[in-house]
Structure 1
């Protein structure tokens, strides 16, 4: 990619068009991979999906990434689409808030939520005088995550978390967010272990992060044979932070895990 676009490796050369062309092509494709995994685990036919919420801070196009994803997945052309551009890192909470409203106000709705983020738009080559730029590039990463939200799950649908309530607010800016939350709330170290693990392993994937964290929690819960998907706990709070500084808050009720006897 860099050989084909050498201007991307320099600080001042114009390269926005090349970057944008990559994003509008690759962001829906990355989202399709995450959505396909979610649909496969869900186990119901794609034709049962009634709504699609696609979120990305990476590039802007018309028709948008939501339209392209409908075609990539082969969804029903009548699926109701919502495209959220340029929301930032808190948008993983935003899409759950919107999905909750749609699911609760549309009978039998099945809302496919997809967050797909790529960092090519902000990539710059190394510069000895811009250490902050290098740190930022090391922190942020590409990633896509997906979930299916319903207000009336059937027996064949395995619930993971119940979205109890949601809220958005604007706060004063704060550095080292995870450490600040841990200190201010007096949390024990293990409370944020899933969040810190995902940041360490994958970096900041903007809106896709919170669903990655929830997936990590449920995997650990099963591996450690906890009582619930929330690492054995019944209640939890999901926070998403982004530009503004804007914070999304989602109150979650964790679903009990049913284990087969003798295993």
Structure 2
């Protein structure tokens, strides 16, 4: 089990499940991921005004998936193929999105330039992920940027000239 992974938990568990499935013949890995942000919900605090931003942007969510390799033909019908899984730490991003367990509970802190930080680095991250696969047209793929409030998504879309 992994705890307090926040937004990047989904990518982390997909990467780990892919590795487990590929290296253990016949293995099927059940991945269940949840993010419970209700614990951050509280009235405004003079000491933690920035927590209101996190409360407005983030919500509870959960998902489950079974990851395997070498599907049994005629029995299993995979919907997607997980070709690659990777994560990138953005330069100068330490402290950009923080969660802290305090006396008042779990609080979020987001720097004002999180959208700029992400959009400035998204193309490099996509290139590192997809160039080895021979893919350079981001609009030909099904993908999503996360975390993503409107400011982040708008800046990523503008940076990549994405088709909507």
Which consecutive residues of structure 1, in runs of 5 or more, have no partner in the other structure? 1-82, 186-231, 242-263
Deviation of 1:158 (Å) = 2.5
Q: Does 1:181 align with 2:119?
A: yes
Out of 24, 48, 56, which is 1:138 matched to? 56
CA distance in 2, matches of 1:101, 1:183: 26
CA distance in 2, matches of 1:153, 1:177: 39
Query: Residue 66 of structure 2 corresponds to which residue in structure 1?
Result: 148
Q: Which has the higher helix share?
A: 1
Alignment of 1:45-56 (within 5 A): none
Q: Does 1:168 align with 2:87?
A: yes
CA distance in 2, matches of 1:111, 1:167: 18
- Using structure 1 for the length normalisation, give the TM-score: 0.36
Higher Rg of the two aligned structures = 1
Query: Residue 159 of structure 1 corresponds to which residue in structure 2?
Result: 78
Secondary structure at the counterpart of residue 164 of structure 1: coil
Moved over 6 A (4+): none
CA distance in 2, matches of 1:158, 1:125: 47
- Using structure 2 for the length normalisation, give the TM-score: 0.55
Whether contact under 8 Å (1:93, 1:239) holds in the other structure is no
Out of 63, 84, 89, which is 2:2 matched to? 84
Deviation of 1:122 (Å) = 2.0
Count of matched residue pairs: 113
Alignment of 1:68-147 (within 5 A): 83-127=1-45, 131-147=49-65
